Structure 1
Amino acid sequence: MTIRVVLLCILFAACKESGKPSLTLKSSEEVLITPKVLMSTNPAHIRFVESDSGQYLFFINHISRNPQFIDFESGELVKEIIHHNDGPNSMRNRTGVGLLEGDSIWVTFSPSSIGCVNFSSEVIFKRVIDNSPIPLTYLASDFHQSLYRHQNKIFGMQPSFMSHHAMDKKDIRNHPLVYSYDVELDLVKWYDVYYPDDYWDQGKKISNFSWARRENKLYISPWYHHEIQVFDMDSESVVDRVIVKSENINRFNYVNNPPGSNEEALLARIGSDQYGILLYDKYRDCFYRFYNPGYSDENAYSIEVLWKFRRSRPVTGLMVLDKDLNVLGEYVFEKFQIHAGSNMFVGKKGLYLSLNNENSPDFNEETLRYLVVQFNKPE
């Protein structure tokens, strides 16, 4: 691993509505890791593991499709968990990895199910997620749409509308967003958690959200709405709703009718604003809410380039929120500076952000590159 320390003094623009003083970026360092396995430099499923024995990256290798651990210092493969496609321990139709717990991994499957597999590649159990008010066509998980264990329950999310174009506004209430599975009682439960009542007031926004955990609460952060809902896992109810608006997010994508082509759909997605991943920083007791302002210019791009713009959005911003979801400040990174669609995590040193934006001239398929940052809190 190569580390380059860069001392910075960049002022973060404080949110005008909050009246908070500006934040400063305390310092940053750039970390370069050369993996000794063939892998994506922006894994979709990733966890940063800090333990007494060292630091590791846990991810799903997009080539072997197996979970792997690599050493964060050397890039050496430490462990691979083989996921079989046949036999009694088949992991066929896996749709995501949502929770790393001890020596086990919780995963989601299609048809809509969750299960648990140990590090010996043995499927401990698999359970259909049923009792939904509407038939589920897909259930998934990944690092920003995690599964969370609280006591004897595994909590999961279902962010997607099952039939966007056939729905009316009133049908949003038929799409609960949160479920749990009780591992002791073998019971699935859905909760009265929905997108906000005004979600489709201006038109049909598509559906997606990220969430993060702090103590016994889950913070539900829609990609196409300013409000964050706080779900208490003890009372199993929404206990707070907070408008957390970025100054740079003002124009969402509305899909009232099916797009006429892939190009039309991509241009609409890239050219509109959206929120992104929500992360909780347990070391500094704050949240990071990412967002992507819309991007357009006078150039004409091929479909291949437009897909890269969608995977690695050209412009990324960041909101820093305190534990009560008050906005402490915002910052917009340089164009093509970071990849914020995946491959970010929190560690003792700070927030790790991938520098491998696919559109950057510095994009490197051979190395993992991270910018590690911390923020000065206002006095």
Structure 2
Amino acid sequence: MNKKQMIKISTWGLLSCLFWGTGCKSEHKYVLEPVNEYKEYVIDAESELSTSNLYTFEDHGKEYLTFPVHNKRTILIYDLSSGKLVHNFFFNVASPRGIGSELYGYYAKDLGHIYVPDFMQKVIYETDTTGVFKKTINFSTADDGLNPMRAYYNNLHNVQLTFLGNKLYIPQQMNANLGSSCVEKSPIGITVDTVNGDVRKLPMNFPPLIASKELRSCIEGSLPYSETFDGKRFIYSFSMDENLYVVSPDHHKIQKIKAKSSDIPEIKFKKIPSDFSKTLKMTCEMATYGNIIYDKYRQVYYRFAYPESKLADDEDFLKILNSGKKEFSIIILDKNFNILGETKFPPFTYLPHIFFISKDGLYLSVNHFKRKDFCDWKLRFQKIELIKQ
């Protein structure tokens, strides 16, 4: 058996040798309850409301919220508690300080270390609140010759850059460069050693949820996923899989755990209709799973789920899709991935992909365009409390 075969077997072929967990109901029931507490962040007149990317981070014990102005390639940083804008800096399209035409997902480790992907190249820049590049991290070719995908992220399917020591973990999309074997051969991520520059493919590939030959003909065929790192493990939530994948930092050990929504009887891929409007409508209506996030303050996980729904033919489907579909629920899991409860939220009320977790709770964006109190010049969040019944 050659090395290539051994790597393939070590990921999915020998999963029976690993621990396959099964999420189960806890004896205690928990719910998520909206309370009358809000936080808001005023957007200046020249900026735009961010509904694609938003992150939080800490620096010397203080919490910050940050999001980009995409087409202006600007990063805004707010004091999370006071709502005050404390930093505002931008990048060019080309050198110097060039990152391509758009700015999407990035990673703020702290105020002195912000990692911004180039929109056009396989490069990540280390900067700070001055916007001046301090280091360039190149990941154009991996150790085995793999041609990685660019680092492009948004919160609709939330994945983030993560540091493990000196190694930067870079999540990957389905790699179209691998042609007819892209599902079987696409790595879930790569790592870059920021000291010596080594780029390595992680041993875990995308799960075989659909045959490679069917990708282009099916909605969600690109196998979008969400990922979070809880300090010890990576957890993956794929849109078309009721299971979670709990993975060791080196991605050699894979634990598959059922985390099924009570509102989603089954998950089914659907063929893409010939009419684009029908495709958008079907994408909005079909059942999928969403983001997985870790609440370190309460030591629970939240998995978002989108049950099947129905929409009128005259709706703005693209706008609804970018706003988190019609309705959603959040599955609550404990630190062992036992299901503690599931809370369903009212239609067209929140942006389920724009959220943050603070010391005092989970906050969901109330900037849904269908709300009567919709406002496009400030980001508003409602506090959602975790309550034991």
Query: In 1, are the aligned partners of 2:71 and 2:102 still within 8 Å (CA)?
Result: no
Look up the SS of the partner of 2:163 in the other structure: strand
Could you tell me how far apart the structure 2 residues matched to 1:46 and 1:156 are?
18
- SS of residue in 2 equivalent to 1:268: helix
Q: Calculate percent identity across the aligned residue pairs.
A: 19
> In the superposition, relative to structure 1, how do residues 147 and 16 fare at CA in structure 2: closer, same or farther (>3 Å)?
closer
Q: Are 2:326 and 1:319 equivalent residues in the alignment?
A: no
Deviation string for 1:109-164 (max 9, x for gaps)? 23333332232222221313322766445431345210000111011111335279
Equivalent residue in structure 1 for 2:64, among 49, 56, 64: 56
- 1:241 deviates by 1.6
Q: Are 1:28 and 2:35 counterparts?
A: yes
Match for 2:346 among 322, 334, 345?
A: 334
Q: State the TM-score, normalized to the length of structure 1.
A: 0.83
Match in the other structure for 1:368:
379
Which of the numbers 361, 373, 385 marks the counterpart of 1:350?
A: 361
1:197/1:128 Cα in 2 relative to 1: closer, same or farther (>3 Å)?
closer
Structure 2 CA distance for partners of 1:60 and 1:222, relative to 1, 3 Å:
same
Query: Residues 114 and 129 of structure 1 are in contact (CA less than 8 Å); yes or no, is this contact kept in structure 2?
Result: no
Distance, in Å, in 1 between the alignment partners of 2:337 and 2:388 is 14
Structure 1 residues 176-233: Cα deviation after superposition (integer angstroms, max 9, x where no partner): 11111111121011112123234449x6552111111112311111111122222222
Gap change, CA 1:89 and 1:97, over 3 Å in 2:
same
* TM alignment of 1:252-331, pairs within 5 A: 252=267, 254-256=269-271, 259-297=273-311, 299-302=312-315, 305-312=316-323, 313-331=325-343
Identify the structure with the greater helix proportion: 2
Partners of 1:35 and 1:74 within 8 A in 2: no
> Alpha carbons of 1:64 and 1:127: their partners in 2 closer, same or farther (altered >3 Å)?
same
Give yes or no for contact 1:43–1:61 (8 Å, CA) kept in 2.
Answer: no
Q: 1:241 matched to which residue of 2?
A: 256
Equivalent-residue separation in structure 2 for 1:137 and 1:51 (angstroms): 30
Contact map agreement 2:209 2:241 (CA 8 A) in 1: no
1:340 CA drift (Å): 1.1
One-letter amino acid of the structure 2 residue matched with residue 241 of structure 1: K
State the distance in 2 between where 1:325 and 1:53 align: 28
Q: Which has the higher strand share?
A: 1
Choose the corresponding residue for 1:228, options 244, 248, 257: 244
Partner-residue secondary structure (3-state), 2:302: strand
Asked if the contact 2:224–2:238 (Cα under 8 Å) also holds between the matched residues in 1, the reply is: yes
Query: Is the 2:76–2:88 Cα contact (8 Å) retained in structure 1?
Result: yes
User: Which of residues 19, 36, 44 is equivalent to 1:37?
Assistant: 44
How far residue 53 of structure 1 moved from its aligned partner, in angstroms, is 8.0
Distance 1:94 1:184 in 2: 28
Q: Confirm whether residue 86 of structure 1 aligns to residue 78 of structure 2.
A: no
Q: Deviations over 1:257-305 (max 9, x none)?
A: x5412202101201101111111111011111112112214x3215xx1
TM-superposed CA distance for 1:336, in Å, is 1.0
Q: Does 1:104 align with 2:113?
A: yes
Q: Quick one: distance in 2 between partners of 1:50 and 1:31?
A: 20
Q: Contact 2:34–2:384 (CA<8 Å) still a contact in 1?
A: yes
Distance (whole Å) between structure 1 residues aligned to residue 226 and residue 317 of structure 2: 23
Question: 2:17 — aligned with what?
Answer: none
In the TM superposition, what is the alpha-carbon distance from 1:315 to its structure 2 partner? 0.3
1:119/1:16 Cα in 2 relative to 1: closer, same or farther (>3 Å)?
A: closer
Q: Residues 22 and 328 of structure 1 are in contact (CA less than 8 Å); yes or no, is this contact kept in structure 2? A: yes
Q: Structure 2: where are the runs of 5+ without partners? A: 1-21
Gaps in structure 1 of 5+ consecutive residues: 1-14
Matches within 5 A, 1:115-134: 115-123=125-133, 124-131=135-142
What is the Cα-based RMSD across aligned positions, in Å?
2.9
Question: Aligned letter for 1:369?
Answer: R
1:63-105 per-position Cα deviation (integer Å, ceiling 9, x unaligned):
5321111234554431112212233332225663331123121
